[in-house]
Structure 1
Amino acid sequence: MKIGIGLPNQVRGTRPTVIPAWASRAEQAGFSTLGTVGRVAYPGVMDTVALAAAAATTTSIGLLSGIMLGPVWPPVLLATETAAIDAVSGGRLTLGMGVGVRPDDFVVDGLGMAARGRRFDQDLDVYRDVWRGEPVGGGPNPAVPPEAREIPLLFGGAVPASFERVARRGAGYIGGSVPAPMVAPAFDAVRAAWATAGREGSPHLVALAYFALGDTEQGHANVWDYYQSTGDEVARLITDGMASGPGRVKDAVAAFADIGADELILNPAVGDPDEIDRLADIVL
């Protein structure tokens, strides 16, 4: 199982100037992938901006949005933005995407929560057309350069439609930031949907977990702050599941490996760049 690390782009209070240096340091440490957390209505750095900064300051590490909220964006704009990030990175971007669950993230007029799953499936066709160089806006021009490619897609979500979306349109699946035993049924459902669809090979399965190794008290507070809008039960589950200390990090790695994750992205709960080396000493 590969081990990646998240960027602190949605850790409250983290200075945006940390992100480029964090990306470079994580690559030097040997992590497989840099991940982002995607939200709009939170005082962080948008995942597209964080990924662009990482693309410009690294040369080999993978880039993954985990997860980007597709239906909050006009689809042509999102496809164009992500194609540019992928081009800057030299083709290292994978998009982990979902439909979103928090109403306050849907800030664009006409792009609300209603029918967002159906709209997202339609948007996927738009992304493909843009990435293939189809003209946009009713004129003769594409929105991407000729070397643009179809960016690999992973999907998140915990309902059958999410698993079927992986089987129909995706390269794999991203689990939620919950303990491995809670992610295992979703992994199994994705594998089953993949087989039913007649797909060759197997879906790429990515797990997410939070960690804090320095100021663990602040880490717990930050995770709670981020998830409290989803309700106390969910916020407590994810906060209590944060890997605080080397032993719990090792336990999380073993647990996700046991359920068949291909990659685990450990997301920082604090924005201290020294967390990169602390984590690398444990897992790499």
Structure 2
Amino acid sequence: MKLGLALPTFGPDACPEGILRVCRTAEDMGYDSLWTGDRVLAPRVPSAPYPSHPRVMPRVYENHMDPLVALTFAAAHTTRVRLGTSTLNGMWQPPLMLARSLTTLDVLSHGRLIVGLGLGWMPDEYAAVSVPWKGRGARLEETLDVLEGYWGDDVFAHEGPLFTIPETVVGLKPSQRPGPPVLLAAFSPGGLRRVGRRLDGWLPTAMPLPDLMGMWKVIQKEAVQAERDPATLRMALRVNLRLSDTKASPDRMPQSGTFAQYIDYARAAAEAGVHELFVDFGQLSASLAERVDMAGRFVEGVRRG
């Protein structure tokens, strides 16, 4: 199983020095990938509760960087690690602009991009960028159509319910062919069907492993029904560490637990068949130096297992 690490693009360490320290250290430690998230707002009173426990939006989101710009900066200071978004809300911009940005980053990083898309959870952000909250699933489908077309033939055009792109020559192509892998953060039955039907993989958040692998089986079944090879799909599991001083009961993991419990969870995930797991220490009340130290102990503990 590959291991990844979230970059400090939220909170007090979202700065050039913070990103430089984490991305360079991650390569030295043997991590396989670096990841960024996506926020455009931090409302004082969000219109919808935060989807994970606790149901309050983390304060670190009040200071947020652009995920693709941050990954481009990281790409310039690394040589090996893959660069992923978990998740990028691709619905907040026209798909043609999204295609250009993603392709540029894949070229500049020499083919290290992993595109992780999500639909978001807060209607306020959609309102702020003048994109309707309703119909976002259909908007995602057409965005995927545009990405595939832009990365395909040199001459490209698109006409759909939401977007019209006149015929144009596209000389800029991603280093990865036919394009960078596109993964989706989805948990609803429709979202799981979409992953199996047309995406390259799944971006879940940490949950009890029986539940996780049960949803993965649904995705694989959908892939078979769509006449796709389920073995080609990949899963990249996000784990947001919420550390407790005492060992948590099994029903609390992975919502909270000790550092050793999270290492055990990662080992068990590898045994269950998870392809990649990446950790985010950004919501812990710890200094950057302490989080870098934890990142080193985490990768060593998982690899040793």
Higher Rg: 2
Residue aligning to 2:170: 142
TM superposition score normalised by structure 1: 0.81
Write 1 or 2 for the structure with the bigger share of helix. Answer: 1
Q: Aligned partners of 1:109 and 1:211: how far apart in 2?
A: 31
Residue aligning to 1:21: 21
Q: Is the contact made by 1:47 and 1:68 (CA closer than 8 Å) also made in structure 2?
A: yes
Q: Is the contact made by 1:152 and 1:171 (CA closer than 8 Å) also made in structure 2?
A: yes
- Match of 1:106, SS state, is helix
State how 1:67-146 maps to structure 2 within 5 Å: 67-107=87-127, 109-132=129-152, 133-134=154-155, 138=166, 140-142=168-170, 144=172
Q: Aligned partners of 1:85 and 1:16: how far apart in 2?
A: 20
Q: CA deviation at 1:254?
A: 2.6
Seen in structure 2, the aligned counterparts of structure 1 residues 112 and 20 have a Cα distance that, compared at 3 Å, is farther
Q: Is the contact made by 2:236 and 2:276 (CA closer than 8 Å) also made in structure 1?
A: yes
Q: Aligned partners of 2:195 and 2:78: how far apart in 1?
A: 29
Letter in 1 for 2:234: H
Letter in 2 for 1:111: V
Q: CA deviation at 1:127?
A: 1.3
Seen in structure 2, the aligned counterparts of structure 1 residues 176 and 276 have a Cα distance that, compared at 3 Å, is closer
Q: Aligned partners of 2:176 and 2:297: how far apart in 1?
A: 37
Seen in structure 2, the aligned counterparts of structure 1 residues 281 and 257 have a Cα distance that, compared at 3 Å, is closer
Letter in 2 for 1:21: R
- Match of 1:4, SS state, is strand
2:269 to 256, 260, 264: 256
Gaps of 5+ in 2: 42-60, 158-164, 246-251
State how 1:42-61 maps to structure 2 within 5 Å: 42=61, 43-61=63-81
State how 1:230-269 maps to structure 2 within 5 Å: 241-242=255-256, 244-245=258-259, 247-269=260-282
Q: Is the contact made by 1:211 and 1:242 (CA closer than 8 Å) also made in structure 2?
A: yes
State the aligned residue count: 260
Residue aligning to 1:227: none
**Percentage of identical aligned residues:** 27
Residue by residue over 1:7-44, the C-alpha shift from the partner in whole angstroms, topping out at 9 and shown as x without a partner, is: 1223x222321113311210111111112222222421
Aligned-pair Cα RMSD in Å: 2.6
2:219 to 190, 200, 221: 190
Q: Aligned partners of 1:108 and 1:135: how far apart in 2?
A: 30
Seen in structure 2, the aligned counterparts of structure 1 residues 79 and 30 have a Cα distance that, compared at 3 Å, is same
Q: Aligned partners of 1:243 and 1:5: how far apart in 2?
A: 19
Letter in 2 for 1:200: D
Q: Aligned partners of 1:145 and 1:46: how far apart in 2?
A: 23
Residue by residue over 1:180-209, the C-alpha shift from the partner in whole angstroms, topping out at 9 and shown as x without a partner, is: 344232212111111222212422112111
Residue by residue over 1:201-236, the C-alpha shift from the partner in whole angstroms, topping out at 9 and shown as x without a partner, is: 4221121112378xx79xxxxxxxxxxxxxxxxxxx
Which fold has the larger relative contact order, with Cα–Cα distance below 8 Å and residues 6 or more apart in sequence?
Answer: 1
Q: Aligned partners of 1:276 and 1:118: how far apart in 2?
A: 38
Gaps of 5+ in 1: 218-236
Q: Is the contact made by 2:103 and 2:174 (CA closer than 8 Å) also made in structure 1?
A: no
Residue aligning to 2:302: 283
Letter in 1 for 2:215: A
Q: Is the contact made by 1:212 and 1:275 (CA closer than 8 Å) also made in structure 2?
A: no
Residue by residue over 1:89-127, the C-alpha shift from the partner in whole angstroms, topping out at 9 and shown as x without a partner, is: 100111111212211222565412110000110011111
